[in-house]
Amino acid sequence: MKANESYKFWMENDYFDKDTKDELVKIKDNMNEIEERFYKNLEFGTGGLRGIIGAGTNRVNIYTVRKASQGLADYVKTLGHEEKGIVIAYDSRYKSPEFALEAAKVFAGNGIKVYLFDQLRPTPELSFAVRHLKAAAGIVITASHNPKEYNGYKVYGEDGGQLPLEGTNKVVAFINEIKDITKVKFIEKEDAEEKGLIKIVGKEVDDEYITCLKTLCVNPELAREIGEEFKIIFTPIHGSGNILVRRILDEIGFKKVLVVKEQELPDPNFSTVKYPNPEEKDAFKLAIEMAKTEDVDMIFGTDPDCDRIGVVVRNKDGEYVVLTGNQIGCLMMEYILSQKKNKGNLPNNAFIAKTIVSTELANDIAKAYNVEIVEVLTGFKFIGEKIKQLDENGDKKFLFGFEESYGYLLGTYVRDKDAVVASMIIAEMAAYYKSRDMSLYEGLMEILDKYGYTLEGITSFTLKGKEGLERIDFTLERLRNENIIEFGDCKAVAVRDYLKGDRFDVATGSKEKLPLPESNVLYYEMGNNDWFCIRPSGTEPKIKIYYGVTESTMDKSKEKLKKLQDNVLSVVEKMLFG
């Protein structure tokens, strides 16, 4: 159905409510806007749905949520798991509670039991709840750290991990079979509750979640000894992390946790920040101002669905700096591995998982402790899959996983990145360095002195709409099809094309198969452990370029990183923008 025909269908059919039609009336003379909203159906990708909230087939609304839920319901029914049920959680974004309820009504309408959280919860708790309640699947209504205009629909399998590719493909096939969106089955909440198909869950799952996470403390005695005086500023950035992050810190012994009051309560407008993203220093502006009047040891903040965490520390010049996701990950790695080795409980079969765009420094740390590193494609779902494959169904022990975009996981109670457990370990780790009369920043410098000055960077370009998507696709296709290996003064020694599934050695001209699944990613090995990687974002209208370099000093690494970035962008920007 063409965009204008689909627009007309939504305008004229009584199935769509007054608010939807009022919104569509406002764009009746704007053909570009009609095209953007209706030129395609919002795609159900590897993690589910994510898009701008609004009326239309290419937007997130109650109707696209119902359609996705019908596809998931059909999939669960083929497994015969209606009685096992589906768990539903949601965050603080616009329409999150409404979308969660609409999904519940569809599942109930299909005879599937629903566990619906009584209020907003962190995404990782949803992963935990699926396992704890032995459910068939789970969904969380969230768009993570995207701008306020976005929301999404993230799907989990019965192992608590994001739905694997095979399951996703089956759900997509069922969604595509729905030719008439008005025929989706659903019943009202009251009817569903009377039939016992919707059960509200709350504190009882929180208690189990926190109890399990506390068993993952590396040095519980240290938190109790130093926690009484160790002062932390925490911001949930208007999201779902406020209650449980503060609770777990308090219960392990950190009694002086100050919250940024202006960002404490849920706010879908994220009114104090440009983006609710703990990667950005702007998100910590209020926390840093607060720290100037409080003698605090560290600052950290979680994103709206509390699966990612950012950390702010003072450097040697007294300036507040946001640590990179790679730096936090390596600090956590070194702490966990060194302490387990010292205590004699580092398993011989341990492994750590990271994504291909995360720092090479992790490989050096793992090697020093004789621990295996497993690399996966970008996205924490692939780390969750490795836990199931190698730990749950194999003979290896998962210790820790991370990705450069501020996602971390310790233990296997949760199968996705978890900022609640990460907050616990980061606080404990900072207390450890304080016990040595060191700051967390000094701890980072100690690691770089030990292993080498590895430095990473990232460039991203936002290209919105249909035209933006076409420019991103064009750029990647040209890089791939023209076999471009020279970027200014820099030349690749090998190219990994994860879409074609091979690694091309420039010097020999030989190719070898890559062990990872197909993905639209190009990875350029530049020699001497330097590299860059380019890929489209799976959650935003962006193209991302990642860089990594290693040198003997920080200054040399900074110089080399800038040169690599400048050379790569001299080529890529021309392709993107003409």
Task: Give the integer Cα–Cα distance in Å for 220 and 428.
Answer: 8
Structure tokens at 276: 């609710």
Question: To which residue do tokens 């001299």 refer?
Answer: 570
Q: CA-to-CA distance for 376 and 50, rounded, in angstroms? A: 22
The alpha carbons of the chain give a radius of gyration, in whole angstroms, of 24
Q: Among this protein's residues, is 405 annotated catalytic?
A: no
Four-residue CA torsion sign, 138, 142, 144, 150? positive
Q: What are phi and psi of 457, to 5 degrees?
A: -150, 170
Which pair of structure tokens corresponds to residue 16? 């769509």
| Residue 433, both tokens | 């360095």
Neighbouring-strand partners of residue 52: 150
Q: How far apart are CA 405 and CA 469, in angstroms?
A: 22
> What is the maximal distance between C-alpha atoms in the chain?
70
Distance between CA 563 and CA 567 in Å, rounded? 6
Helices and strands, number each (H, E), in the chain: 19, 24
Select which of 69, 144, 519, 557 is catalytic.
144
Six token digits for residue 15: 């199935």
SS3 553: coil
Return the half-sphere exposure (C-beta side, CA atoms, 13 A cut-off) of residue 528. 13
Between CA 276 and CA 268 the distance in angstroms is 10
Instruction: Please return the burial class of 241, using the count of CB atoms within 10 Å of its CB with bins 0-12, 13-18 and 19+.
Output: buried
| Contact assessment for residue 311 and residue 298, using Cβ atoms and an 8 Å cutoff | yes
Are 199 and 116 spatial neighbours (Cβ–Cβ below 8 Å)?
yes
Separation of alpha carbons 333 and 361, rounded Å = 10
Secondary structure of residue 153 in the 3-state scheme: strand
Structure tokens at 84: 């096992």
Exposure letters 205-234 (e unless 16+ CB within 10 A, then b): bbebbbebbeebbbbeebbeebbeebebbb
According to DSSP, residue 49 is labeled E
Structure tokens at 560: 């080399």
Instruction: Say which residues have a Cβ less than 8 Å from residue 258's Cβ, sequence separation at least 6.
Output: 231, 232, 233, 234, 290, 294, 296
Catalytic annotation, residues: 144
